[in-house]
Amino acid sequence: MKTDKLYYGAAYYEEYLPYDRIDKDFMMMNRAGINVIRIGESTWSTWEPVEGEFDFSLLKHMLDKALEYDLSVIVGTPTYAIPSWMAKKYPDILALTHNGQGLYGHRQNMDITNPDYLRHCEIIIRKMMEVIKDYKNVIGIQIDNETKPYDTCTKYAQDKFVKYMQGMYKDIEEMNREFGFNYWSNSIHRWEDFPDVRGTINGSLSAEYKYFQRTLVTDFFEWQKNIIREYIKDNVFITHNFDFGWKGFSFGLQPEVNQHDAAKSLDVAGCDIYHPTRNSLTGREISFCGAIAYSLKKDNYLVLETEAQGFAEWTPYEGQLRLQAYSHLAGGANSVMYWHWFSLHNAIETYWKGVLSHDFSENAVYKEACIVGNELKKYGDKLKNLKVKSEVAILVSNRALSGIDEFPIFGGLTYNDIVRKFYDCFYDINIFCDVLDSKDKESFKNYKLIVCPALYSATEEELNALKEYVKEGGTLVTGFKTGFSDEHLKVYHDTEPHILNEVIGAHYDQFTVPDGVCADNKELSNFMELLTADSADVIYPYENKHYDKYAAVTKNKYNDGFAYYVAANLADKTLTKVLKMALESAKIDLPNATFPVVIKSGINDYQKRITYIFNYSDDDVTLKEGVARGHEILTDKVYNGESVTIPMWSFLVLEEI
Amino acid sequence: MKTDKLYYGAAYYEEYLPYDRIDKDFMMMNRAGINVIRIGESTWSTWEPVEGEFDFSLLKHMLDKALEYDLSVIVGTPTYAIPSWMAKKYPDILALTHNGQGLYGHRQNMDITNPDYLRHCEIIIRKMMEVIKDYKNVIGIQIDNETKPYDTCTKYAQDKFVKYMQGMYKDIEEMNREFGFNYWSNSIHRWEDFPDVRGTINGSLSAEYKYFQRTLVTDFFEWQKNIIREYIKDNVFITHNFDFGWKGFSFGLQPEVNQHDAAKSLDVAGCDIYHPTRNSLTGREISFCGAIAYSLKKDNYLVLETEAQGFAEWTPYEGQLRLQAYSHLAGGANSVMYWHWFSLHNAIETYWKGVLSHDFSENAVYKEACIVGNELKKYGDKLKNLKVKSEVAILVSNRALSGIDEFPIFGGLTYNDIVRKFYDCFYDINIFCDVLDSKDKESFKNYKLIVCPALYSATEEELNALKEYVKEGGTLVTGFKTGFSDEHLKVYHDTEPHILNEVIGAHYDQFTVPDGVCADNKELSNFMELLTADSADVIYPYENKHYDKYAAVTKNKYNDGFAYYVAANLADKTLTKVLKMALESAKIDLPNATFPVVIKSGINDYQKRITYIFNYSDDDVTLKEGVARGHEILTDKVYNGESVTIPMWSFLVLEEI
Amino acid sequence: MKTDKLYYGAAYYEEYLPYDRIDKDFMMMNRAGINVIRIGESTWSTWEPVEGEFDFSLLKHMLDKALEYDLSVIVGTPTYAIPSWMAKKYPDILALTHNGQGLYGHRQNMDITNPDYLRHCEIIIRKMMEVIKDYKNVIGIQIDNETKPYDTCTKYAQDKFVKYMQGMYKDIEEMNREFGFNYWSNSIHRWEDFPDVRGTINGSLSAEYKYFQRTLVTDFFEWQKNIIREYIKDNVFITHNFDFGWKGFSFGLQPEVNQHDAAKSLDVAGCDIYHPTRNSLTGREISFCGAIAYSLKKDNYLVLETEAQGFAEWTPYEGQLRLQAYSHLAGGANSVMYWHWFSLHNAIETYWKGVLSHDFSENAVYKEACIVGNELKKYGDKLKNLKVKSEVAILVSNRALSGIDEFPIFGGLTYNDIVRKFYDCFYDINIFCDVLDSKDKESFKNYKLIVCPALYSATEEELNALKEYVKEGGTLVTGFKTGFSDEHLKVYHDTEPHILNEVIGAHYDQFTVPDGVCADNKELSNFMELLTADSADVIYPYENKHYDKYAAVTKNKYNDGFAYYVAANLADKTLTKVLKMALESAKIDLPNATFPVVIKSGINDYQKRITYIFNYSDDDVTLKEGVARGHEILTDKVYNGESVTIPMWSFLVLEEI
C-alpha cells in the first residue's frame, strides 16, 4: 500500500504505565519525530473487565491524547488474549492441542473455532469499532495479533477437519490410498471411525491437518475483516502483523499460517521482524522477512513491530538502530514501528525492552531514535513507497515446509535452513530475491532466474509450471528434496525428481547422509542424493571413492532455458559459485560489492532510483570505485563513483541524478 | 530349525503399492534369486475394515501370485496394530503406561491383557488361518511382530500382577521385607492397599513389574500358537521376529522380552537385525544378535528382517549388502530377508527404505541382491544349516539388565554396554561367544570358558552354579556388579561379590567412580570396585596413590578352575589382554588374524567345516600365511595357507577339504 | 543451642535391617565413639500399618537398645512420607502441582494443606509422642524431614492463596496494578475470576505464589511444634533438618523454604549438608551451608545429616571424613551425624551409602569414623559451642532468588551462582561471611562490611537500610540486579539501581549480554549493566570500543561509608581484587594464607579462641611463618608461628595459649 508519508512509531500501552505520564511520553515522541502509535490489541480484560461490562475510557484517552499530539493511530482488535472470566465460564475455549489442554494465563492458547469465543470476539470488536470509528487519527485497524491456529485439536476443529476431508474425498477408500492409511492398520472405512488426529503416525495426515489449521487463520481474518468494515471506512486500512518462522529471532517462512492466502483479507501487509544485533547484525532477516511481506500484496508493507532494545543480548551498538530503520525502508517498508515505547514493569515481557528503559530516561536508544525520526520527517517523501523488484525469485511453500518437518533431514536441517541458505548466499553477493508462493506460476515469467529450494511436497501443476518456465527460456536453480512427494506427502513412484528429471537432465534412485564425502573440496553434511547425470553436465562430482560416479551439482540446457540442480547440502562457498553460474546463464549482472557492503535499491514516487549502500560491519569499509553514484540525500553530497569510506554500521542513501 | 534350502527374501506388502505391479515385483524377485516373502502382519484394518466384515482378497491374491512365481511365504498374524474402529469402540484397549494412555495411531500401543483386544485377536487369527491353511507355499506363520508388553499398566495388567505377587508371597510381610517396602513408608499390609506400580520409587518393585511384563509376552505367544495350531499343520513352522536392545540399531539383549522363555512356543527362532553400515559396518551386531537368536532354540535361526537400504545413513557401499548376507549365514542363519521389498510412499516409515527405492527401478542395491540371491541358489546347499558352537559362552540375564536400569552406573553405562564390551573384545580377536541365559546352568559344562559380565541381579542358584563350574575345572571371567543383589534387587548383605568372593579369591566393601585412576596405564571411567585380593593374584592394580592397594583385575586358581575378576570398566585394550589370559587358562587357541579380518566357521549338512573369512574394512587386507585353507566355494579356488588379499568389504567361503 | 558435649552419630533404621543385628550395630557405634542416633522419621507405614492400628514395637526396641548402649536419640515425626492406605483412601492428598498430580510412591509429594492429611499427621504425632515422652535418652525431636511445600497447587492451597491476596489487597484493582495483570489481558476484576495460578505467565504472581508456598512450611512447623510440646518437656529440643539449594549437592539458599522464618518454631537449627569429595572437596559447602544454619538462630547448630560414603562418586579419600567432621565443628556445629549408619539393601537410595557398606564390615570409612569419634570424645569439650562471628555479612533473600528464577539471566546464571561467587571468593582468601536475611537490618550495624549480591526483588525498606548503613560509615559491596524490582517483581520506574544509585554514585539505564567485552583483561559473560559513574570512581571500565564509557566496577564515598558496585559477572580473580579493596575500605585485615589452606576460628566455652587450619588439597602444604600459633589439641604440640607442613586432607586445631 502506498502511504502519504513514512510512518515512524511504536506500540503504546497506557494501560501498562506505572503512573500517569502520557503527556510526557507523547512529547518525547513528538521530539523524536514519531508520528504513529499502535494501541489496543492486548487488553481485552481492560476493555471488558466483567462479561458484558465495557470500559473504553483508557482507549478514548489514548486516542484523544494522540489527536492532541498529532499522532496517527493503528488500533488492534484485542482477540488474541482472553479475559479470565471467559476462561472460567467457558473452560473449553482453551485449546486442546497435541500437548493436551492449556491453562489460563498465556495468550494465544484459545481455540479459534470455538463458537463461544467467536461470539465474544464479535461483541468486543463491534463495541470497540463503535468507539473508534469517528476518530480521524485512526489510520488503520490491525486484526488480532500474530494469529496462529495455536494447534487447536478440539472437537470443533477436528469436526471441521473431517468435513474438509469428506469434501476432498467422496470415496473414503480414495483417501486411504492417497494418504497410505493402511500402513500399520490405520485405514478408515467409515467416517465415524476417523480417529483423533493427534495420535497419528501418518505424515500425510499430520501435514494435512497443519494445512487445515492454516486455513483457520485465513478464515478468521476474513470473518474479522467483514465485521470491522461494517464500522470502518475504506480510507482506514486493515492490516495484520505477520510474524515469521522463529529461531530465537525472525528466521524463515511462517509454518503455521499461509500468509499469501491470509493477506487477501487485508489492505496492506504488516509484519513483525526481530533479529540479532551487535556483531550478529547482518540485515539478512530484515531483507528476507521484508521480501516476504512485500510479496504478500506485491506492494509496500508496514513494519508494525521491530525491536528497539529487545532482549538484553540485542541491545544495539550505536548506529545500529538507525541502520536497521533504513534497512527496512530499503526493502519497501513504509513504516518502522518499535515494539514498544517503554519497557514493562511487570509480566512475562519485562525484559523485552522498548525504546525507553524502565526508568523512562532519555537513554541512548531514544537519542538515536530522535535522529532517525527527524531524518525521516525531513527526507521521507523521497524514501516512501519504494518500488522494489528483482530479476530473481525464490519460491516458498508451507506444504514443503510441513513435509520436511514430518520427515526430518538427518542432523535437523529444516526447510527454512535450506531456503535461507539459498537466500543468504544471494544476499551476500547483493542479489535480492523476490519471494513467490510456489503456486504463483503466473508470476514466473517476470523473472530471469527462479530458485526453488527443497520444494519437497509439490503438486504436478507446480512441477509442470517450472518445466514450462525453463522450456520458455528461464533459468532454474533447484535441488535436493524438490519434487519428491505430492501435495499429500505421497512420494512420487516414478523417476525422481518427479517431472523435473527431464528438465535437469539427471535423476537419482538413492540418497544418503554424507560421511567423508566432499564436493568442491569441502565436506558435505546432512544429505546427498546419488544423482546420475543423464543429459546434464556435472559441475561438481562427489569426491569419495564410493560416490565419484554421482554428481553433487549439474547444469542442463533444456529447450531455451537452463536448469541447475544442487543434489546435496553444499558448503556456502560452493553454493555461491553455483549461484553465480546460474546468474550468468540468466544474464544477470553481479554488483561489484559484497557483504558486509549491502546495496539495495528501488524506485520512489518520483520515478527516481534510490540506492542504499549499507556497511554491516564493526569496521569502516571503503567502497571500490564505481559503486557510489548519485546524490546522497541525508548529507546532500554528490558521488560520482569515487572511492568512499562508510563508517561502521552506517550507510549512504543515494538518489539517482 | 534345519531347512531344505537357504531362504532369501523380503517382506512384501501388496496393500501398500501405489499401483498394481505384483507381477513385475515377483518377476524381479525371481531374477534376483529371491525365494520367500513375508506378508500379512501389518494390516488388520485391511483384512477387517469394519468390525466383523472380512476381506482377504488381497491376502489370497498375494498367496496365489506367490504360487505362480514359486515363492514361499511366511504369513504373520496382524495383531500388533489395531484398526481404528476397535480403538473407537474399546478406548481402553490403548494401554495405560508410565506415560499415561496413548492415542490411536501408533502401532504396538495396546494392552495385550485386555479381554476385548484378545477376543478380537482370536477372531482375526482364526479367520486368517482359515484362508491360508491350504496354501502349499505357506512355509511358516509368524506370531505378531516384535511383540512387547508395551509397558501396559492397565487395571487388567496390574490386577494380574498383584495376583502374581500374591502367588509368590503368601505372607504380605515377607514381600515387604524382601522388597524393602518399608522404605519411605511404602510397606503394604493389606493386598487392597497395593498402589499403582507406576508411582513406585522402589527399584525391586519396578524391576519385578518389568519381569512380570515380560511374562505377558511369553503367555501371549503360547496363546496365539495354540490357536494357530488348530488350523496349521506341523510341517508349517511357527516363528516370531525377535528384535534386540536398541541403540539406534540392534545392540544388545532385548529388555522387554525374555526371548529364551518366549521362544518355547516357537518351532524356530526368527529375528530382526539392523545395524550401521558404510564405515561403521563391523559385523558385530550381526554376530552378537545372531548368537542370541541361535541360542534361543540352540539351533539355526531365521533372519526375518534386516536392512536393504534402511535409513539414509545406512545406504550400503557396494559390496556391503553381500558381505552382510554371508555374515548372517556364518552365524547359523538359514534365511536373509530384507525389510522390505519396496520403499513406502506414505506414512512413518517412508524413509526406511527397502530393496527397491520409491521409483521401483533396478538400483544398485537390487543389482547386488541379484548377485547374492543367485549365489545362494547355486551354493546354498553347502551353506545352510551351519552348526556353530564355541568353546566360550557369555551369560545374559534380563533380571541383571533391569537391575542396572534401576540403579544406573555413573555416566550411563548400561548392562548392554558392558555385555557388548566383553563380547566385542572377543569378537575382535576372532573368538565368538555362544550366548546362554544365565539360568541355563546345565549347559555350562559344554564350555571351556564362561564369561559372566555384570550379572547384577543373580539368584544364589546362579551364583552357586558358577562356583561349581569353576570348581570342576572351568575358567570363569566375571566382573564388576556381578552377584551384588538377589533376584528381587535386594543387595546381598554379606561379603561381595556374594558367593563368588570365594571363587575369585577377592572381595570388596567399597566402590567408586574413577577420577584420575588408571589400570594398565589407561584411564578408567564410570565405575570401579575397591577390590582386595585375598588368595587371588593381582593382574592389574589401580594406578593412583589413593587406590594402589586395590586390584582392577585379579586371577584366582579355585580348585580345578580359574576365575578372573574385572573390577572396573577397563579400556578395551586392557580387557582384551585379560581375555587372552583367560583363553590361555582355558586352553583355547587364538586364531592368527584379528579385526577387520573376521573368521567364522561351522559344520554344514555334509559334516564339513565351512570357514568364512570376512574383510570388514574400507581397504584391501592381506591375510597372513596359514590363515586361508580350503576350497573357496564361490570361486572354486583352493587355498593352502598362502597369503591372500581380500578386497574391501569382501570375503572368502572356504570348505574344508 | 549450646550442648553439653559434641554429638557424633548417624541415622539408624532398624526397620530396614535385613536381619536382626541391632546389638552388633550399637556395639560398633560404641567402639566408634558414636553417641547419638536419629530415628523414626521415615516409616509411617511401619508405625501405622493399617489406618488406626499402631505398632511402635520397633521404635520402642530401638529406644530401649539405645538406652542399653548409652546412645542419645533424636526422634523424627514420620509425616513426610504417607502410607499407601492413606493415598488409597484420600487420593487428593497427593499434591496437584505444576506437573499435575503425582502417583503414590515417592515421598514428599503430599499436599501439606490437605485437611485429611493434617488430621492423620496429628494422630500419628500424638501416638508417637506418647510412646517416646518418657525415654530419658531422647534428647530431641525432629519435625518432619527436609519439608517443602512440594509445589502444592491444590484447591486447598489455592483457596488459601486467594484469601492471602484478598488480605493484602482490599481493592482488587490495586492488585492488578501492582502485579501488572492487565498485561495480555490477565487482569482480574472479581475474586471469583482468579484463575488457576499454574497457568500464569505473570512473574509477579508466580513469585508471590512461591512466597506463599514458603509460608505453608513455616505454618506447618509451628503447628507440629505445638502438638509436640503438649507431650515433650522443654529440656528436649525441637529441631528440623533444613537442606539447601541443590546442584547435585548442597549449594545455596533453599528456594522453597524461608528458613529464617521457619526456624522460629525450633529450639535449634539442624541441617543436612552434602558435598563433593575427593579432588572436588573444598569445604565451601560445609562453610556456606553451615553459615546459613548458624544464622537461623544466630547460635550453634546441628549437622543432622551429612555423607559418610554417599554416592559412589563421593567415596572419600583417606583423611577426608575426618577433615569434613572438623570442618563442620569449625563452623559452629555441635553435631556431625551421618546419613546413615548402614547402606540400604533395597529401594531408591540403595546407592546412597552409609558408614557401613551393604556387607556391614569394618570398612575404611568405619575405621576413620572410629578415629574421629574417639577424638571427639576426648577433646570435644574444648571444641563444642564454638562462637563464630565475622566482621563481614552477606545478605540473602528468597524473594530475590525467586525474582531471578522468574526472569533468568542469560546463560542460566542463577541467584545462588551469584551469591556463591561472592561467598567463595571471600572463602578463598579466608574471609568468612556471616549470612543475614536481607530483612534483618537491625544486625547491619554489627558488621564492618556488608555484601549484597543480586538483591533483585527488594523492598524500599531494605534498600533504605543499606543506604543508612553506608551513611553511618559501613562498607557495602553490591552489584548487578540489586534493587531493580520491588517485592512483587514490579520493576522500579525511576533511576536504577533504585535508591542505591545515590549510595553508589552511579546509575544505568541499559544492560546487555557481554560479547567480546572484558574488564580487568578478562572476558565477561552472562550480564553487564551499562553503568555510568556519577560521583563514583571507576575501578574497572569495560574494555570494548562500544562500551568503554561505562564502568564494570565503581567505588563511591557516601557520607561516612563506602559503596562498591559490581555491574557485571566478573571473573573470579577480578572479583577477588574488588573484595580486597572493600576489605581495605572496611579496615579488615587479610589472613596470610589462602585456599587450599583454610583457617577458621571461634571462641569456645572457656572463652579461648580455637583456630582450625585445614589443608584442602591432595598434596602436603607448608604454612608460612606466623600462621600457626597455639596449642595443637589433638597432638598436644605447641606452635609459635614456625613454618609447619600439614599433610594432604589434614589439619591443625590450635587453642589460644
| DSSP codes joined into one string, A14-53 | GGG-SS--HHHHHHHHHHHT--EEEESTT-HHHH-SBTTB
Enumerate the residues of chain B whose CB falls inside 8 A of the CB of residue C88: 192-193, 195
* Three-class SS state of A531: strand
Q: Using a CB–CB cutoff of 8 Å, tell me whether C607 touches chain B.
A: no
Enumerate the residues of chain A whose CB falls inside 8 A of the CB of residue C187: 43, 45-46, 49, 83-84
CA distance A501 to B358: 15
Query: Could you read off the pLDDT of B518-568 as tens digits, one per residue?
Result: 999 999 999 999 999 999 999 999 999 999 999 999 999 999 999 999 999
Enumerate the residues of chain C whose CB falls inside 8 A of the CB of residue B208: none
Assess: ipTM above 0.90: yes
Say what the pLDDT of residue C193 is: 97
* Residue in B with minimal Cα distance to A526: B313
Say what the pLDDT of residue A348 is: 93
- Asked if A103's CB is within 8 angstroms of C198's CB, the reply is yes
Enumerate the residues of chain C whose CB falls inside 8 A of the CB of residue A363: 509-510
* Residue in C with minimal Cα distance to B488: C346
CA distance C335 to B154: 49
Say what the pLDDT of residue C76 is: 98
Say what the pLDDT of residue A15 is: 94
Q: C-alpha grid cell for residue A628?
A: 557510489
Q: Using a CB–CB cutoff of 8 Å, tell me whether A279 touches chain C.
A: yes
Interface of B with A in 184-223 (CB under 8 A): none
Query: Could you read off the pLDDT of B190-241 as tens digits, one per residue?
Result: 999 999 999 999 999 999 999 999 999 999 999 999 999 999 999 999 999 9
Enumerate the residues of chain B whose CB falls inside 8 A of the CB of residue A196: 103-105
- Asked if C347's CB is within 8 angstroms of B190's CB, the reply is no
Interface of B with C in 524-543 (CB under 8 A): 527, 530
- Asked if C182's CB is within 8 angstroms of A46's CB, the reply is yes
Report which DSSP code applies to C489.
S
CA distance B504 to C91: 51
- Asked if A363's CB is within 8 angstroms of C187's CB, the reply is no
Could you tell me which chains touch chain B, where touching means 3 or more CB pairs under 8 A?
A, C
- Asked if C201's CB is within 8 angstroms of A348's CB, the reply is yes
Q: Which of C292, C288, C293, C332 is nearest to C424 (CA)?
A: C288
Q: Among partner residues A15, A107, A348, which is closest to C203 by beta-carbon distance?
A: A348
* Residue in A with minimal Cα distance to B311: A512
HEC sequence for B333-394: EEEEEEECCECCCCCCCCCCECCECCCCCCCHHHHHHHHHHHHHHHHHHHHCCCECCCCEEE
Q: Using CA of residue B382, residue B383, residue B389, residue B392, what is the dihedral sign?
A: positive
Q: What is the mean pLDDT of residues B315-341?
A: 98
CA distance C198 to C96: 10
- Asked whether A357 and A363 are in contact (CB, 8 A), the reply is yes
- Asked if B42's CB is within 8 angstroms of A183's CB, the reply is yes
Give C109 to chain A, closest Cα distance, Å.
Answer: 22
Q: What is the mean pLDDT of residues C497-501?
A: 98
Interface of A with C in 318-347 (CB under 8 A): 318, 343-347
- Asked if A513's CB is within 8 angstroms of B346's CB, the reply is no
Q: Using a CB–CB cutoff of 8 Å, tell me whether B15 touches chain A.
A: yes
CA distance B654 to C5: 83
Q: Using a CB–CB cutoff of 8 Å, tell me whether A429 touches chain B.
A: no
CA distance B656 to B14: 43
- Asked whether A272 and A181 are in contact (CB, 8 A), the reply is no
* Residue in A with minimal Cα distance to C172: A49
pTM: 0.96
- Asked if B407's CB is within 8 angstroms of C350's CB, the reply is yes
Q: Among partner residues A107, A350, A363, which is closest to C184 by beta-carbon distance?
A: A107
Q: Using a CB–CB cutoff of 8 Å, tell me whether A410 touches chain B.
A: yes
Say what the pLDDT of residue A466 is: 98
Q: Which of C427, C500, C496 is nearest to C465 (CA)?
A: C500
Enumerate the residues of chain C whose CB falls inside 8 A of the CB of residue B183: 16, 42, 344, 346-349
Interface of B with A in 16-35 (CB under 8 A): 16, 18-19
Enumerate the residues of chain B whose CB falls inside 8 A of the CB of residue A201: 105-107, 347-348
Say what the pLDDT of residue B431 is: 98
Place of cell 563444642: C384
Interface of A with C in 345-374 (CB under 8 A): 345-351, 357-361, 363-365
Report which DSSP code applies to A233.
-
Say what the pLDDT of residue A200 is: 97
- Percentage of chain A modeled with pLDDT above 90: 100
* Residue in B with minimal Cα distance to A190: B50
- Asked whether A201 and B105 are in contact (CB, 8 A), the reply is yes
Ranges of beta strands (E only) in B190-341 are 237-239, 241-242, 245-246, 250-252, 270-273, 301-307, 333-339
- Asked if C196's CB is within 8 angstroms of A104's CB, the reply is yes
Say what the pLDDT of residue B646 is: 98
Query: Could you read off the pLDDT of C190-232 as tens digits, one per residue?
Result: 999 999 999 999 999 999 999 999 999 999 999 999 999 999 9
Cβ atoms within 10 Å of B643's Cβ, excluding its own: 12
Choose the weakest-confidence range: C39-43, C237-241, C652-656.
C39-43
Enumerate the residues of chain C whose CB falls inside 8 A of the CB of residue A85: 189-190, 193
Q: Among partner residues A82, A346, A361, which is closest to C204 by beta-carbon distance?
A: A346
Enumerate the residues of chain B whose CB falls inside 8 A of the CB of residue C365: 510
Which amino acid is present at C484? F
Cα radius of gyration rounded to whole Å, chain A: 26
Query: Could you read off the pLDDT of C324-382 as tens digits, one per residue?
Result: 999 999 999 999 999 999 999 999 999 999 999 999 999 999 999 999 999 999 999 99
Peptide bond connecting B497 to the previous residue in cis, omega within 30 degrees of 0 = yes
Say what the pLDDT of residue B105 is: 95
CA distance C113 to C457: 27
Q: Among partner residues A195, A495, A509, which is closest to B104 by beta-carbon distance?
A: A195
Distance of alpha carbon B233 from the chain centroid? 28
CA distance C48 to C51: 6
CA distance C472 to C458: 21
Peptide bond connecting B596 to the previous residue in cis, omega within 30 degrees of 0 = yes
- Report residues of chain A scoring pLDDT below 50: none
CA distance A589 to C512: 42
Beta-carbon contacts below 8 Å between B and C? 152
- Asked if A351's CB is within 8 angstroms of C185's CB, the reply is no
Enumerate the residues of chain C whose CB falls inside 8 A of the CB of residue A49: 187, 189
Distances from the Cα of B378 to the Cα of B305, B372, B386, C523, angstroms: 23, 10, 16, 71
Place of cell 500399520: A184
- Asked whether B176 and B187 are in contact (CB, 8 A), the reply is yes
For residue C133, how many C-alpha atoms fall within 13 Å in the half-sphere facing its CB?
14
CA distance B481 to A481: 49
- Asked whether B288 and B420 are in contact (CB, 8 A), the reply is yes
Residue B368, burial from CB neighbour count under 10 angstroms (0-12, 13-18, 19+): buried
Interface of C with B in 258-277 (CB under 8 A): none
Q: Among partner residues A16, A19, A309, which is closest to C510 by beta-carbon distance?
A: A309
Q: Using CA of residue C426, residue C428, residue C429, residue C435, what is the dihedral sign?
A: positive
Q: Among partner residues A16, A19, A317, which is closest to C183 by beta-carbon distance?
A: A16
Q: Using a CB–CB cutoff of 8 Å, tell me whether A494 touches chain B.
A: yes
Enumerate the residues of chain B whose CB falls inside 8 A of the CB of residue A187: 43, 45-46, 49, 83-84
Banded model confidence at residue C431, pLDDT cuts 50, 70, 90: very high
- Asked if A83's CB is within 8 angstroms of C198's CB, the reply is no
Q: C-alpha grid cell for residue C91?
A: 487420593
Q: Among partner residues B45, B318, B343, which is closest to A185 by beta-carbon distance?
A: B45
